[in-house]
Structure 1
Amino acid sequence: MTATPLSTPLRRNLPHVLWLLLVVVIFAISASWLDPALGWPMYAVDGAHLGLVAINILPFVLIVLLLGALTRRVVLSSWIGLLLLIASHAANTAKLQQLEMPLLPGDFHFLEEIGSALPLFVHYIGTSLQPVLIALGVLALTVALFREAAWPLMRGWKRLAVAAVSITLGVGIIQGWTPWRAVYSAERLRFEPWSVVDSARKAGMVGNLVLYNWELAKRQELHPDRNAARELLRANVDGLREHLSPNSSSLAMPSGTQPDIVIIQSESLFDPARLNGAPKNTYLPNFHRLAKRGLSGELKVPTYAGGTIRTEFEVLTGLALAFFPGVQYPYFEIADRPIPGIVRTLSRQGYQTTAIHPNSGVFWNRNQAYQQIGFDRFVDERAFSKDDIVGLFTGDAALTDHVLAQLDQDGPPQLIFAVTMENHGPFDWRPGLDAERLAAMQMPAGLDEGGEYWMRNYLYLLGDADHELGRLADALQKRKRRTLLLFYGDHLPALPPVYQQIGFADGKAAKTQPVPWLLLDNRRKLAEHGPMDTTAWLLPSILLETAGIGGDRYFATLAALRDSLPTDVMASSSGLPGELRALGQLRFRNELEPILDTVLDGPVAEADVAIAP
């Protein structure tokens, strides 16, 4: 019995089919090995897991097909697609290890500013030559593959068809066309936008990226619940009238005494005394000294171990990130319009406003975001010298010098907002630190040698941050002009070995731990009001109330709500009630004032009800 020969069209296309099958198998094995959600080894998974693997490698397969059509070099195209797959999963793994957060759509914005982002990210590689040698080997192999001969089968209409189909399918995935919503089913993949870590464990890295991208696009346009916001205001109308009246604050100074205001956001600052086995009365001596004459307490922040701009956004705007479902990186995702906040409020009061940060203005899109927030001026890394570097980044001492140099005894009042850099991770290596001082650091009990190494580096830099707080506060105390200093941490440091080995004294997870905050006034003691635990988005209302600065009814409203709503509600950085979210969304859209007018003036007017969403 003779075998039936393959038909001519099938025989001609067999190489294409075999190539595609080989790419799929290699990518499936690689993704399953790199992504815990996909299961390993392959033979141990069932059909549902194979389907999950398929949707997680599909975008990379489409990239290979497109590159194959464009270059006609199938080995080169497959190699580049595999590199992209491995690089994406490597970035995802590194982010999970450092920040306990998977790769998200906003992370790809760093590709737009790779020149400014690369100097920071390479610090996480350390001094090992192995990554450099691997990168050079990969580059050499990639260059060599460019010499691959063009595949004669990939030409003419086939080439155009493969390119067109690949682009169409890829755009459909990005845009969320209807057929793809069935393939990447949020229900089947158990996608939860409020818990991206859990979603990535269920849907895989790519599945989570696709679904989160659709969720973010769906929620970009806010539709505030005006009725909910109105009812919240009505329920607290007496407090609103009190706080909106002149000289309402018990902390307020007489009118005409506009103080200078300095805000310091201290990188990765937290109190190590919260750790199990930590020695008492040891860390942050200047902070605790100053807290005796200032307002202070624990601060809940909307990020963990990274994502500095999340806390920064809340403090500068008084808007909780929880007001914007799906938004992870506000300076990228909602900084395309003027943003109301404390900067614009003070500008209307005649303040000169300056932001200072010793990093590139391109990084985190701060150049554009600070303009939208309303700063008059932004002083970035170009104002600092290489001699200012401590370890890996510009030291806090140099930043303190710049802050003090900006303050002028004469002229209009100033707002200076400064973001430190010295204490930025990584903490698993730090060149140039004083060995004797490192060895003298008092360690929490229970850490192994590796954990102690991370902790010593962190405590060294934390000591610098605390020292500069003391130096700045003492200098401001001597000023003739009234000056307020707001100081707080942006998030916990990324110290995974420390948290895993000893944990926290309160028994809670690292992600739930607060950071310290402090508010000082060089003209009076504030500490008699007692500790005040709060959250980042409420800090500007506390600052303005303490400064005795009015003129912004949103911040006055927040002050009234702090007095009337339970502390655990107002001091939450997530899970806010719907009426508070509506209030913040209306503020962001500059649509809160008409509703405030109608609530404060009496019955709701028809004009208010008719405002378009």
Structure 2
Amino acid sequence: MVAAFTASSSLRRPWQGALVLALMALAFALLTGLVDGGVGVAPQRLFDQPVYVLANALPGLLLAGALLAFTRRAMLSFGLAFAAEGTVYAVNQLKVANLGTPLIPADFQMVGQLNKGGTHLLGAYLPHSPWPYLAMLAVIVLVITLWRREPRLLPERPRAPRLLAGTALLIALVTLLAGTMPWARLYNGRTLWLEPWSATSTATHSGLLSSLLMYRLQYGHGARKPDQAAARELLSRADDNLRQQMATGAVASDGLPDIVVVQSESFFDPRILNGYQHAQITPNLDRLARHGVSGALHVPTFGGGTIRTEFEVLTGLSLRYFQDLQFPYLQLNAKVVPGLVRTLRSNGYETVAIHGNDPSFWNRTSAFKAIGFDRFVSQSAFPAGTANDGQYMADRGMTDEILTQLKDSGPPQFLFAISIEAHGPYDTMPADAAERDAMPVPAGITGKDKLELQNYLYHIHHADQELGRLADVLAKRERPTLLLFYGDHLPALTHTFQTAGFVDGGDMLNEPGTWLLVDPRMAAKPERTAVASWMLPGLLLQAAGIHDDSYFALTRLVGPELAPLTHAPDAPEPAPDADLARTDRDMASVSQLRLDGKLDALLPPDTRAIAHQADTPEHEPQADPHLGAGATH
């Protein structure tokens, strides 16, 4: 009846047809939001920021408009577009139900796997109830009915303008789905809500379709091709030094130390901030630094984006050379990612990741498997009753789990632990408010900024305490253990940093964090050196006596001069001299070839990395049923 009314009235009065189309488009947008469960059902979002609703519905509206131009049937066109959107939302619901995370653009690559055994694998996730299939059948019947019986809304002639408009809408849709950059003016974090580190939060606030388009537009463009000539030039210049670096013979696995790495959330030495030059908030860091190597750590992010630093440490690759990998765990789809973990595994290490949070956050479940971890002990595997301090798991619980996982016999172990207690926001109530209130605050920091700063200092004081406790236990072990401790980035205390300023007068986006490498059983001569996060694995392997990976040997050679170039994406770009710029350019190609698994082909046979069996999919470890969901002890 509605279709008959729209058809007859629009032909006599075009403005009535236009009004009906506008109402149908608005209804389509609202229905999209209703199915989405996010943007469309939030009244304040609809009235305060209607762009959220319209942006989320735009792909469907473009499809409906193009179909309308070609079929001239309004309800059929909007129905087909809504059915297409519904399919995406249904697949998303399946993924959320089974994996706990929404769709991201990389998931659509699974379509190409359907003819490679993927149909059987993915079919296992389909619902077993008959109702969804009956609903699909009803939709098909409805579409056929509309196609056969719905009157045309648009006149058949003039045909050319109608077909031209349909073609234009179709081109607009194709360019949008293809990620053509002009669309980024709408689909970005300034116009919509974008949290790159959380696909769930982005989809919840901006809508599923908007989140897919933003990830595609902002972070989905291809990498530049490496220049093999530039890579050869750098390797040639470094050849003699590479041979010296790798000259040391291999160490038997029973002589290798255990390695514990602690990535401490938002940790930095407060003494780089004005007002804290003489503070004693991190006494254990100071104590251990007197017997190890420590210093400033240049990282590729600020205030968030933990996985940027984490990726650099685990792979030895600088994200400076991968502009398309703003958030690598969400974008990398390789089954094998070369790096520290696989090099250690090839030397006989058991590799374990530990994190007291949801394993799907940051897509770590998939990423850690590709990086080469044997097991991932996540939140659900921690003992029942492990306490929070503030909003997140206390660092004490993480230290307890590290000590639980360490064994006194068997192969050498590599434990990579990711803390979370000091994660923002910093306005939540801690376990001990009196301890928090006792934290010193520089003059001029007041109100909310004061509260957030004190909460932050309270948590990193605990991180320092746990560093001391862990080191003291490791010092008493029979097996030697190397301990690497570092902060992933500075906290997002923007107003505090702007008010107090830094001792060196630097910009907060360029300010370095903190790192420490120590053997707790030895009283070594202290050493201070500034490095970048992507240099840490090379230094760690050197300290462990592992010299068989030429790429990490190269990072030790060129890293010191390139370290200051590592900074947060929005930080002012330093201006390197000509020689440094050449090394930087050449290292970019070397790094890209390394990630692609093509670097060793450019090396002379006697300076190549050893043929790591663990670097090939056919030599993957047996699947751990708890990988990503938390391994049992």
Q: TM-score, normalised by structure 2?
A: 0.66
Q: CA deviation at 1:439?
A: 1.9
Per the alignment, residue 393 of structure 2 pairs with 394
Per the alignment, residue 461 of structure 1 pairs with 459
Work out the percentage of aligned pairs sharing the same amino acid: 37
Deviates more, 1:446-455 or 1:208-217: 208-217
Distance 1:230 1:526, change over 3 A: farther
What is the alpha-carbon root mean square deviation over aligned residues? 4.8
1:531 paired to 2:528 = yes
Question: How many residues end up aligned between the 2 structures?
Answer: 490
* 1:183-582 paired onto structure 2 within 5 Å: 184=182, 213-214=216-217, 216-220=219-223, 223-246=225-248, 257-278=255-276, 280-384=278-382, 385-430=384-429, 432-528=430-526, 530-562=527-559, 565=561, 568=564, 577-582=584-589
Q: CA deviation at 1:560?
A: 2.6
Deviates more, 1:325-334 or 1:54-63: 54-63
Instruction: Measure the CA separation in 1 of the matches of 2:267 and 2:74.
Output: 50
Q: CA deviation at 1:290?
A: 0.8
* 1:130-209 paired onto structure 2 within 5 Å: 156=150, 168=170, 171-176=173-178, 184=182
Instruction: Measure the CA separation in 2 of the matches of 1:198 and 1:10.
Output: 34
Instruction: Measure the CA separation in 2 of the matches of 1:309 and 1:539.
Output: 15
Q: Which amino acid aligns with 2:230?
A: A
- SS state at 1:512 partner: coil
Q: Which amino acid aligns with 1:403?
A: I
- SS state at 2:505 partner: coil
Deviates more, 1:274-283 or 1:413-422: 274-283
| Residue pair 1:230, 1:599 contacting (<8 A) in 2 also | no
Residue deviations 1:527-556, cap 9 Å, x none? 44x211011111000100111112211111
Q: CA deviation at 1:8?
A: 0.6
Deviates more, 1:5-14 or 1:275-284: 5-14
Residue deviations 1:351-394, cap 9 Å, x none? 11111101111111111111111111110111223442111111
| Residue pair 1:318, 1:539 contacting (<8 A) in 2 also | yes
* 1:48-197 paired onto structure 2 within 5 Å: 60-63=57-60, 156=150, 168=170, 171-176=173-178, 184=182
Q: CA deviation at 1:66?
A: 6.7
- SS state at 1:510 partner: coil
Q: Which runs of 5+ in 2 are unaligned?
A: 1-8, 31-38, 40-47, 77-91, 103-145, 155-161, 194-205, 574-580, 609-633
Q: CA deviation at 1:9?
A: 5.1
Instruction: Measure the CA separation in 1 of the matches of 2:98 and 2:423.
Output: 18
| Residue pair 1:174, 1:213 contacting (<8 A) in 2 also | no
Deviates more, 1:503-512 or 1:362-371: 503-512
Q: Which amino acid aligns with 1:213?
A: R
Q: Which amino acid aligns with 2:452?
A: W
Per the alignment, residue 590 of structure 2 pairs with 583
Q: CA deviation at 1:117?
A: 7.2
Q: Which runs of 5+ in 1 are unaligned?
A: 32-40, 42-52, 74-107, 119-152, 602-613
Distance 1:198 1:558, change over 3 A: farther
Q: Which amino acid aligns with 2:585?
A: G
Instruction: Measure the CA separation in 1 of the matches of 2:305 and 2:246.
Output: 34
| Residue pair 2:472, 2:520 contacting (<8 A) in 1 also | no
Instruction: Measure the CA separation in 1 of the matches of 2:220 and 2:101.
Output: 25
Q: Which amino acid aligns with 2:150?
A: G
| Residue pair 2:510, 2:568 contacting (<8 A) in 1 also | no
Q: Which amino acid aligns with 1:587?
A: R
- SS state at 2:417 partner: strand
Instruction: Measure the CA separation in 2 of the matches of 1:302 and 1:315.
Output: 11
Per the alignment, residue 595 of structure 1 pairs with 602
Q: Which amino acid aligns with 2:363?
A: N
Instruction: Measure the CA separation in 1 of the matches of 2:562 and 2:391.
Output: 43
| Residue pair 1:279, 1:442 contacting (<8 A) in 2 also | no
| Residue pair 1:23, 1:61 contacting (<8 A) in 2 also | no
Instruction: Measure the CA separation in 2 of the matches of 1:538 and 1:372.
Output: 21
Q: CA deviation at 1:170?
A: 6.6
Instruction: Measure the CA separation in 2 of the matches of 1:382 and 1:272.
Output: 33
Distance 1:464 1:72, change over 3 A: farther
Distance 1:279 1:56, change over 3 A: same
Instruction: Measure the CA separation in 2 of the matches of 1:55 and 1:442.
Output: 42
Instruction: Measure the CA separation in 2 of the matches of 1:276 and 1:515.
Output: 15
Distance 1:383 1:390, change over 3 A: same
| Residue pair 1:298, 1:533 contacting (<8 A) in 2 also | yes
Q: CA deviation at 1:492?
A: 1.1
Instruction: Measure the CA separation in 2 of the matches of 1:414 and 1:21.
Output: 59
Q: CA deviation at 1:448?
A: 1.1
| Residue pair 2:293, 2:516 contacting (<8 A) in 1 also | yes
Instruction: Measure the CA separation in 1 of the matches of 2:243 and 2:604.
Output: 11
Instruction: Measure the CA separation in 2 of the matches of 1:12 and 1:540.
Output: 68
| Residue pair 1:279, 1:443 contacting (<8 A) in 2 also | no
Q: CA deviation at 1:561?
A: 2.5
| Residue pair 2:294, 2:515 contacting (<8 A) in 1 also | yes
Distance 1:418 1:113, change over 3 A: farther
Q: CA deviation at 1:238?
A: 1.6
Q: CA deviation at 1:156?
A: 3.1
Per the alignment, residue 14 of structure 1 pairs with 18
Instruction: Measure the CA separation in 2 of the matches of 1:503 and 1:457.
Output: 19
Q: TM-score, normalised by structure 1?
A: 0.68
- SS state at 2:255 partner: coil
Distance 1:526 1:255, change over 3 A: farther
Residue deviations 1:425-445, cap 9 Å, x none? 110223x52122122111122
Instruction: Measure the CA separation in 2 of the matches of 1:457 and 1:60.
Output: 41
| Residue pair 2:355, 2:419 contacting (<8 A) in 1 also | yes
Instruction: Measure the CA separation in 2 of the matches of 1:211 and 1:407.
Output: 42
Instruction: Measure the CA separation in 1 of the matches of 2:474 and 2:494.
Output: 36
Instruction: Measure the CA separation in 1 of the matches of 2:353 and 2:153.
Output: 52
Q: CA deviation at 1:511?
A: 1.6
Q: Which amino acid aligns with 1:344?
A: R
- SS state at 2:603 partner: helix
Q: Which amino acid aligns with 1:8?
A: R
Instruction: Measure the CA separation in 2 of the matches of 1:593 and 1:412.
Output: 28
Q: Which amino acid aligns with 2:235?
A: L
Deviates more, 1:575-584 or 1:334-343: 575-584
| Residue pair 2:274, 2:500 contacting (<8 A) in 1 also | yes
Instruction: Measure the CA separation in 2 of the matches of 1:312 and 1:255.
Output: 26
Q: CA deviation at 1:496?
A: 3.0
Distance 1:65 1:594, change over 3 A: closer
Instruction: Measure the CA separation in 2 of the matches of 1:190 and 1:506.
Output: 39
| Residue pair 1:400, 1:468 contacting (<8 A) in 2 also | yes
Instruction: Measure the CA separation in 1 of the matches of 2:153 and 2:417.
Output: 54
Q: CA deviation at 1:166?
A: 11
Q: Which amino acid aligns with 1:289?
A: R
| Residue pair 2:474, 2:521 contacting (<8 A) in 1 also | no
Instruction: Measure the CA separation in 2 of the matches of 1:454 and 1:358.
Output: 23
